[in-house]
Amino acid sequence: MKTLIPYLFILSPLFLQQSLQAQKHEVGSIFGAANFLGDLGGANHVGVPFLEDVEPTLFRPAGGFFYRYNLKKVVSFEVNVLATQVRGDDKLVSDGPAYSAFWYRHYRNLNFKSLIASVSFNMQIDLLRYKNTYKNHTYWTPFVGVGVGLFYMDPKASINGGWTRLQPLGTEGQGLPGHRQPYSLIQPNFPLTIGVKYQYNKHWKLELSCIHHVTLTDYIDDVSTSYVDPSALYNNYDNSTADLIYTLSRRSSELDPDNLYGAITSPGEQRGNPKNKDSYFMVLLKVSYVFGTSHYDYNCFKK
């Protein structure tokens, strides 16, 4: 993905040149914020769906650019290039009474951050048509969209004042005999969009949208299954590497140095929930320029 991004910027002038020579094309910039939905962090609950599990303090900036082809009056296709960072931190979950529903999350005490860089192909459907009569026109419409794409992730954990990459370590034993294979840092995603667009004038358009990125991976936060047996680590790695992996895989001892509740995070106990895949969502503002005389009737903009 890192090697792909420079080529996208190189090719973007070709899109622009084509747009200048044809109708129904537009290019634009994207600004907004993103948040993560997965095992780590979240609200003071366990197992609550979607927006109920959002930690508001972990919104991070998101941005990118897009190219759109307006095929018909209510159908368009676009390519989005987006980048953001997502985070999760169990410390942000309130510490309740021992064994309460959200106490388990806080006691687990894991954290992560990850770059998310994505390219997706999307189809949009306008739910209203732009009217083409002067006395009965509208410049806005709600819309829905669906797409498919690829994204790059790279989860890291904070430790000793720095950030350590987690995927190469295999914090749940990935790559060891009898364990899962290491997960890929490039994964498919499926953007689902709802929003509203506003035609400011003949050439400029504004959009406000929310995009929920459904994924097929449970490892954006590097947490999915169960705690690894430390003996498997020390039998396959040198002591310093095994120490690092074990420290990053089980951090409840930082909150419980006497190991009073250590059985909860012992080998084989639940660390995450592989049945619920990770996802992330973005709230975005798009500003685009429409080339030529797009598929809308702009007579209504004439004085």
Q: H/E/C letters for each residue in 16-67?
A: HHHHHHCCCEEEEEEEEEEEEECCCCCCCCCCCCHHHHCCHHHCEEEEEEEE
pTM of the model: 0.85
Query: In which residue ranges of the chain is pLDDT below 70?
Result: 1-23, 45-50, 130-138, 293-303
Contacts of 128 (CB under 8 A, 6+ apart): 138, 140, 141, 142
pLDDT at 128: 82
Phi, psi of 44 (to 5 degrees): -80, 55
pLDDT at residue 46, rounded to an integer:
63
The strand pairing partners of 70, in sequence order, are: 76
Give the per-residue pLDDT at 49.
60
CATH 2.40.160.20 is the classification of domain 4-158+181-219+279-301: yes
Domain boundaries of the chain, sorted by first residue: 4-158+181-219+279-301
pLDDT, position 134: 38
d(CA 248, CA 226): 13
Q: Provide φ and ψ at 32, rounded to 5°.
A: 170, -155
Q: How many helices (H) and strands (E) does the chain have?
A: 4, 10
Token readout for 249 is 């895989």
